[in-house]
Structure 1
Amino acid sequence: MDAPLIVRAVPPLDPDAPEARRWLEDELLKPEYQNAKPTAFDLAMQAVGDWIADLFRGAGGVPGPIVTLIVVLVVVALVVVAFLVFGAPRLRRARRSAVPLFDDHDVRDLAAIRAAAETAARVGDWPLAIEERFRALVRGVVDRELVQVHPGTTARGFAVAAARPFPSERDSLATAAAAFDDVRYSGGTGDVVVYDELTRLEQRIVDARPAGAPDVEAEAVR
């Protein structure tokens, strides 16, 4: 017996116009064609490039300085448009990398240091609570970029520097630095009174507008 004849459906090789148009539309909808499609920005830049090229090709009778001026004006216009569309470039990062505090390379953020101070205070570890609260004070001022520190900066050195943007707190800053040095280096025990005063000082610094700052200061780190 002869094998059954298998007939495969194949598209007509000579489609009419509507069928051919449908095939073309289906083909162009495939992802590889869509991904290769130029964006509006690509088309705009291509148009500008073509216009400048045509300008140079047709500038045989135009003085060179005038052509140069036209090109410069076009570039300036493009920069203005880019600023309007994309905004000004960020010349500074929103937040610098954490700066190490003092000589133990402490790079914790403000929230972590405050949490450590509050935890120590809850259990009555006043030396640690005072040390951490002073570190929170330093971190807050450094994060506001009002004082620069490096790993070798001392507590007293910070107090002197911080007194420039906060002159009304000069004495309190010096007292806070002395309290930090006492519990960290001299075996001082501290107490809740010292800790509470440090906490109030930190909050006053947070709320204060630095000397010489504009009327509308950037929001303080809280």
Structure 2
Amino acid sequence: MPGAAQEPPVVPDAPTARRWAVDELARPEYHVQRSLLGRLLDWLTEQFDRVQQGVQVDGRVAALVIAVAVLLALAVAWWVAGPVRRGSASASRAVLAEDDVRTAAQMRAAADAAAARGDWTLAVVERFRSVVRDLEERAVLDERPGRTAHEATLEAGTRLAGVATALDAGGRLFDDVAYGGRAATDRDDAALRELAAQVAAARRMAATRSSSAPAVPR
């Protein structure tokens, strides 16, 4: 209510602040940088002990030191955990799961079946997967489960430069539909059918150029 006295912010005492910091830094995502965070935790523990033992330390100064130390610990921990969170997010956006052993033809059949019953979202997802699996079967890409759409299209685009832009667009469509919550349409499925045809033509053209290249004299 206007004019009502506001309660002062809660400032933890030294034991509470130390417990908060220890609990936060003990979370699993921070263990990838345990050496750095371990040293930080040791330093914070030492500072908290000094505050507890310092009989001549002003209470307000001690509270300020504790609050700053806790905020610093949380900030460093958040910064260290960032790559872990991003890495986990990246892994969850894979095109092909490790246990998916289907062939490109089987994935195309699944896409066609989904399209026939109007499930355009599944049709788009399976059709893009079939494109990536086909590139693996044709040795344009190495077999690597967990590869993201961006990684697949970027790598394939360097080998099939003529369809690099189309591959990138297809990868973005896959991410939007599979992980971005976008509802696919029949036009999206048609776009990926066209992508598959373009990739097949570019692959055949690259193979023809490779086979017709003159032998280098030794």
Q: TM-score, normalised by structure 1?
A: 0.49
Larger radius of gyration: 1
More helix by share: 2
